[in-house]
């Protein structure tokens, strides 16, 4: 096996020796789940069938999945080698989320695309992603903490449940050491350390640290990285199990909340605090 371009000859030799020691040392395989979503900074809206309108606004790689990409890249950098594949389920444009991820680093993409998937709920999404993962090799699956459109934070757990894997969620830091994966999770009442054995599913929060920007070289390299597409037939899933008509919850109505109106804005002339007190008193808050 040849050396990777980002390895020193020493590192390359080191890993060759480790590999020769027997089957136990194989480079880590990571799958990162990335979703293509309407930009949270744009005026998001619903289509007439009450699904998220993906046509009216700019879409992008979910900002919260960038943290998952970054963590995967860091795991590989720390280990010295490893393979990262990005997996997305979504319409054609979702391929852009794969390209963006690949421009940050990593090796390949898998795109599950099928017209029947339109309007799938989290249960169906996890069914499809679990089937895709079933066809892939991995030691760890890294997800974002939530998609910025659905904000459910349930897909990683549902995947783990379906695949029968340990699930370590809401990591604010992540480390992988041999067969063990350990996270720190900062809940309201406590900071907790959690450990599981690979293979496992992990979700990471925006506390894990800023994601890198793609370099020009990265963007060029991403164009040549392989992306495989799979349909529902490739995954052996009956289209009747997914999509809007199969969803186990239905949206009855969507109503735009009236935008908040600006109220009274005053400039402090030495009495700004008193003016707020007056305002609070007028509302009987003090």
Partner 1 sequence: MGEILVLVDHVDGAVRKSTTELLTIARRLGEPAAVFLGSGLDSALEVLGRFGATKVYVVDDATIGEYLVGPKAEALVAIAEKASPSTILVSSNAEGKEIAARAAVRLGAGLITDAIDVDADGVATQSVFAASYVVTAKVTTATAIITVKPNAAAPEISETTPAVENVAVSYSAIATSAKITSVAPRAKSGRPELTDAEIVVSGGRGVGGPEGFGVVESLADALGAAVGASRAATDAGWYPHAFQVGQTGKTVSPQVYIANGISGAIQHRAGMQTSKTIIAVNKDSEAPIFELADFGVVGDLFKVVPQLTDEIGKRKS
Ligand X SMILES: Nc1ncnc2c1ncn2[C@@H]1O[C@H](COP(=O)(O)O)[C@@H](O)[C@H]1O
Ligand Y SMILES: Cc1cc2nc3c(=O)[nH]c(=O)nc-3n(C[C@H](O)[C@H](O)[C@H](O)COP(=O)(O)OP(=O)(O)OC[C@H]3O[C@@H](n4cnc5c(N)ncnc54)[C@H](O)[C@@H]3O)c2cc1C
* Chain residues 109-168 in contact with partner 1, contact rule CB under 8 A: 121-123, 126, 145-146, 148-149, 151-155, 157-158, 161-162, 164-168
Pairing of strands 167-171, 200-204: parallel
Tell me which of ligand Y, ligand X, partner 1, none is bound by residue 277, counting a contact when its beta carbon lies within the kind-specific cut-off of 5 to 8 angstroms.
partner 1
CB of 283 to ligand X, least distance (A): 36
| Residue where the block lists tokens 């900071």 | 191
Q: Of 147-206, which residues contact ligand X (CB under 6 A)?
A: 147, 150-156
3-state secondary structure 116-166: HHCCCCHHHHHHHHHHHHHCCCCCEEEEECCCCCCCCCCHHHHHHHHHCCC
Among positions 245-274, residues that touch partner 1 (CB under 8 A) are: 247-257, 259-260, 262-268, 270-274
Neighbours of 25 (CB within 10 A): 12
Stretch near partner 1 under the rule CB under 8 A, chosen from 11-19, 111-119, 182-190, 230-238: 182-190
Cα–Cα distance measured from residue 78 to residue 175, given in angstroms and rounded to the nearest whole number: 10
Shortest distance, position 35 Cβ to ligand X, whole Å: 4
CA distances from 12 to 9, 82, 94, 210 (A): 5, 12, 35, 29
Contact 15, 81 (CB under 8 A): yes
Smallest separation, CB 206 to partner 1 (Å): 5
- Per-residue binder mask for ligand Y (CB under 6 A), 59-78, x = binder: ----xx--------------
| Interface with ligand X: number of residues (CB under 6 A) | 24
d(CA 28, CA 25): 9
Footprint on this chain of ligand X (rule: CB under 6 A): 33-35, 62, 64-65, 68, 87-90, 122, 125, 143-144, 146-147, 150-156
């Amino acid at each position: 096996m040849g050396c990777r371009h980002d390895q020193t000859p020493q590192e390359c030799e080191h890993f060759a020796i480790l590999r020769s020691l027997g089957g136990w040392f194989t480079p880590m395989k990571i799958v990162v789940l990335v979703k293509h979503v309407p930009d949270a900074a744009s005026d998001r809206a619903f289509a007439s069938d009450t699904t998220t309108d993906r046509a009216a606004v700019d879409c992008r790689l979910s900002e919260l999945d960038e943290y998952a990409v970054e963590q995967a890249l860091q795991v590989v950098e720390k280990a010295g080698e490893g393979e990262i594949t990005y997996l997305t389920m979504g319409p054609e444009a979702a391929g852009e989320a794969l390209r963006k991820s690949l421009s940050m680093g990593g090796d390949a993409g898998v795109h599950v695309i099928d017209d029947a998937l339109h309007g799938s709920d989290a249960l169906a999404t996890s069914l499809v992603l679990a089937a895709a993962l079933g066809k892939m090799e991995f030691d760890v699956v890294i997800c974002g903490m939530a998609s910025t459109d659905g904000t459910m934070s349930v897909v990683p757990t549902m995947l783990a449940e379906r695949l029968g894997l340990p699930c370590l969620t809401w990591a604010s830091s992540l480390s992988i050491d041999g067969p063990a994966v350990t996270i720190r999770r900062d809940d309201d009442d406590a900071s907790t350390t959690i450990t599981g054995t690979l293979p496992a599913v992990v979700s990471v929060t925006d506390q894990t640290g800023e994601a890198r920007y793609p370099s020009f070289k990265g963007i060029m390299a991403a164009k040549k990285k392989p992306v495989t597409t799979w349909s529902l037939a490739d995954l052996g899933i009956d289209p009747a199990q997914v999509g809007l008509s199969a969803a186990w919850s239905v949206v009855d109505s969507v109503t735009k909340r009236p935008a908040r109106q600006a109220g009274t804005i005053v400039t402090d002339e030495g009495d700004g605090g008193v003016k707020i007190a007056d305002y609070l008193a007028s509302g009987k808050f003090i």
